[in-house]
Every structure is written in C-alpha cells, then in structure tokens.
Amino acid sequence: MDKVIGIDLGTTNSCVAVYENTGPVVVPNRGGYQTTPSIVAFADNGKRLVGHIAKRQAVTNAQNTIFSVKRLIGRQFDSPEVQKTKASVPYEIKPAEDGQCGVSAGGRDFTVQEVSAFILMEMKKIASDYLGEDVTKTVVTVPAYFNDAQRTATKQAGQIAGLDVIRIINEPTAAALAYGASKGGNRNLTVFDLGGGTFDVSVLSASEGVFEVVSTSGDTFLGGADFDNRVIDYLAESFMAQHGMDLREDRVALQRLREASENAKCELSFKRTVEVTLPFIATKDAQPIHLQQSLSRGRFEELVGDLVDRCIDIVKNTVDEANMTTEDVHEVILVGGQTRTPMVQQAVETLFQKPFSRGSNPDEIVALGAAVQGQALVDETSDMLLLDVTPMSLGIATAGGRVSRLIPKNTTIPTQKKHSFTTVHENQSAVKIIVLQGESEQAADNKLLGEFLLSGIRPAPKGVPDIEVTFEIDADGIVAVRAKDKDTGKEQSITVAVSGGLSDADLNRMIGEREEYEINQKQDDSTQELFYEVEKVHQKVLELLPSAEAVITSDELHAIMDVLAEAKAAMNTRDQAQLKAVHGKLSEANESLNSIANQ
C-alpha cells in the first residue's frame, strides 16, 4: 500500500503527518520541531532557504524573505486584500502574467504557487527522510472558505513540488477527522479554526466513521497576522508620537517590529503584561533611538476585540445555516495557533455555554486529519466516509446583471446540477457563459471563476433555444462547467480549475525548474556529506600525527602534511572531485597512523 502524507500548508507554519500502525503521527523536521515556518528566503549567494533557517535571517534579509503567501494564493493582484498585504510586508508583491499575485525576491520574480511549492517540497523531504523512501502521494488541506481559484492554485503548487495531490480537504474537516476518528457515538461537532492568516468554522455530524459537514463558512483574510498587525500599529504609532518617525516605512525596522509583536502577543496568552524592547531601532540626529513599550493583556484585547467579534458572528451564522442551535453542538474543537489567546477561548465558551474540547494540539491536528483521510483513500478496508460541502454558491450571470444560482453553498460534494436557459435576443447565434461564485444576487458582487462562449446556436426567436448548463464539483471542490445547445447538439465546456491559474506551459516550466533544482540539491547534499567525511578524517589525522612523528620518516611526514594541505584546499573550494580524491589519500594516512599507534 502506498504511503500518503497529510500536509497542512499553513500561513505561519506548515506541518506534515503520516499514518502508521497506531494511527496518524506528526513527522518532525531535521531540527526536531513538529512544525516548520512557512517562510522562504534567498541568501546573498542565491541559495534558497526554507523554514527555520529562513526565519532566523529574516531581520537582516527582510526584502528577500517571503512569508504569509497563503494569504496571496489564488488572489488577483488588484484585490483589496492583496493591496492591504502589500503595504504591510517588506518583500515586493507584484502582478504575475495571469493577473494573480506574484512576488519578487533574490533577484527573481515568482508566482505565489512557486513559493508555496518550495514549502511543500520541504514538507515532502521531511516525510521522505523520516520514512526512508520517496513519497509523492499527499492530501493537502486548505481553508474551508477558499474559493475555486485558491484551491486550484494550491493544487498547482503541489504539482510544481512533485506531489500527487490525491485530495484537497478543508482544514476544519481534517481537524474533525483527527479528533473524532477514534471516538464513537453520534455527535455534532463545531470546529473553530483561527490560524495565522484565515478563519474557518464548520459544523459536522459524526456517526460511526461517517463525517458529514453540515455547514461551513469563514473569512480568508482574518487570522493571527491581523492580530499581529494591530500590535505593530500600536507600537509604531506610540513610537511615532514620541519620536516623529514611522518605523513601518523602514523594512528592517518593520521586520523587527513584526517579530517583537508576534512574541508579545504569544506571551500575553499566559502573562498579564509584557515589555517590548527593541534597542537601536532607529537613528535621529545621528543618535540611536530605542523602542521600549509596555503592553497589557487588557490593552491587547481592546486592540483585537473587533476581530474576535467577527469570528463569533461568522460562527453564529454557520450554526444557523446548519439548522442547529449552540445547544445542539456537543463538542467544540479549537484549531490554529491564535486560538491559544484567552480572549478567543472565552468568547467561544461564552457562545456555546460549554468548555471547548482539550487534548489536541491546535498546530498539529489538521495535518493529522489529512493523514487520516489519506489512509482512508488508499486502504480498501477502511469504512470511514467523509461528506464535505461546497463553501460558496455557484451560478452563472443572466440578463440584467443578475445571478442564477445552480449550486447553493453547503451542498454536499461531489455533486452535479443541470439547468436549462434560453436566448434573450432574436436569432441569437451565441451565448457567453459567465461562471460566478458567491452569495450576492448581483453578478458584479461575486467572484468571477471563468467564462466561455457557446456558438453555433440555430437561428430562432428569443426564448426558443434550449441551452442546458451543467455544473460539476469534484471531491476537491474544483469546478467544471459545460453548456449544450440541445437542439443542435453543440457543446462547449470549461474546467474552471484551469482558468485564472497557471497555463500548462508555465506549469511545465516550473516543474522542470523544480526537477533541475532537486538534481542540483542532491549534488549539493552529496558534496556536503563528502565535505563532512573529509573534515572528520582530516581531524583524525591531525590528532594521530603528533604521537607518530617520532616513528615515521621525514618523507612520510612531508607526504602526510601535503595531503592535509590538499584536504584543506579541497574543503575551501568544496569541489566534489577534489574532495573524493583527497578523501582516499586521507583515509590511507589515517590507517597508516592508526597502525603505528596500535603497535
């Protein structure tokens, strides 16, 4: 049976898990951490850095360090969310060729899918190293309220990373799978998922291995980063009032401020007051200026109170849409690092009038649930059944700028719906099918997923042609639409997963670049391993040489010294051929000196 890894591609941190004999387990990275920062950076030498090593150099290399790309994935560059993010990060956000977001770092332009792929590649490597074999099959999680473009972009990121994304599932659903897979009985669950960049809530019904999502909703631009930004603004404005300087206009100062704000926010989860100190944050009149500011939990709660209220309002609406009351919910599961905030926990418990379920790590539970789903997909004996829903309504634009809704939100997927339309003009020979996603009755207020033209309609009075439009949503939430003139049999279709995303040519180019990178990376890893071997034997020879000098001849001593010098030069150049050659010579010298020492 193929191994399937579960990946939680997070805004702040990512996590990978795999199903073993005893159940799902989180795979630690090389540093022993359960999660890996979703950060990509480019060093001065062009080397790509991912995870903790990228985070550690973020302050000194701010403009080449990319974070929070999950907030940008699948979004058009001119969207308000992107413009808001653009103003708050030190790296450059720019439009890609398809109008979606791109970023610039390390002297190159990248699509957001590429940057996300770099993080997924790291997750793949962590899992492969742990399992001792290359793994490609994966289940990747996304926020429940991700639209079609965002889901498609995430799947494309997986393709670029060399992964076979066999399923995309919603993060709250994955958390429910991890939490409820070992529990019996009939229960209604609410998953409250407040992560680094997004907020989701799902109401599920669980019964003997069947998990049915009843309703879901969220906000893809509401998360821990917004809590951080409130603290950043508070500290920056306090500093500006005192010194007349805006720290947010300096990239390095902004990055230092960001890290300090995030740390302060986390500390306020268990402290009443924190002291934020940033020495030498700026200079004025050739004199250094330091930032020192106290922040109480009460003041922090004032800063973020409206964000928590937005979360609670979404939860109330989602429970209503499930035709339930809060009393009907048996258990509440908190997911995402921001749910550690006492104010968030108190608001949830006040709403549901019951304590939330404890015992699950909010940073790991989503990846664990993805691994559970992955195992169920490849294990023919599994009796687990997941019934998810589409988070937003789908329809087409009609005359008068209105929307004809074909699939309402919270419809169980996969699904297919058909509806017949007709022409609005005499002898109309073609109709444009405009595919929309959203809840507004006005076409302009919804998300445009794609459009296509059905031509060749036979001449006829308006209202006579019979045009059948079929919507299909697969288990990943990806949309396909086709239209057919039932009189002539003419048919046209669009897989919305392709429109608005990367072209096949771009996708193939990025996959080729990834394959080339992996070849180079393997060579770099091989060279690095050889370097360590040479360094180790070099050190052994140095340690053995003093005791052998009185025994060996002058020529033998000079020969060994030449080999040591050659090894030093090879280690400086890191040339693989030189390292291989000198490793053999060092090994011979080491064996010779060892035999002398043992006499």
Q: Active-site residue numbers? A: 8, 70, 171, 193
Q: Is the separation of the CB atoms in 276 and 291 below 8 Å?
A: yes
Q: What are phi and psi of 210, to 5 degrees?
A: -105, 120
Pairwise CA distance, residues 16 & 367, whole Å: 6
Burial class (CB in 10 A: 0-12, 13-18, 19+), 533: middle
Segments in 244-340 forming alpha helices (H)? 251-267, 297-321
CA-wise closest residue to 465 among 455, 478, 474, 451: 455
Residues paired with residue 212 on neighbouring β-strands, in sequence order: 205, 387
Which residue shows structure tokens 């079929």?
470
CA-wise closest residue to 3 among 264, 413, 375: 375
Q: Which two tokens stand for residue 568?
A: 């030093």
Q: Which two tokens stand for residue 77?
A: 């560059």
Q: Which two tokens stand for residue 485?
A: 């003139």
DSSP calls for 504-550: HHHHHHHHHHHHHHHHHHHHHHHHHHHHHHHHHHHHHHHHHHHHHTT
Q: Is the separation of the CB atoms in 172 and 318 below 8 Å?
A: no
* Farthest CA pair distance, the chain: 110
Pairwise CA distance, residues 225 & 340, whole Å: 14
Q: Is the peptide bond before 80 cis (omega within 30 degrees of 0)?
A: no
Which residue shows structure tokens 């309703």?
215
Q: Is the separation of the CB atoms in 101 and 153 below 8 Å?
A: no
Q: Which residues contact 244 (CB under 8 A, 6 or more apart)?
A: none
Pairwise CA distance, residues 193 & 175, whole Å: 9
* Measured CA distances, 434 to 103, 399, 407 (Å): 29, 11, 15
Residues paired with residue 288 on neighbouring β-strands, in sequence order: 283
* Measured CA distances, 110 to 36, 40, 117, 120, 502 (Å): 21, 12, 11, 15, 12
CA-wise closest residue to 463 among 372, 547, 399, 557: 399
Q: Which two tokens stand for residue 482?
A: 């086709």
Pairwise CA distance, residues 171 & 164, whole Å: 19
Helix or strand (DSSP H, E) at 404: strand 402-407
Pairwise CA distance, residues 597 & 175, whole Å: 61
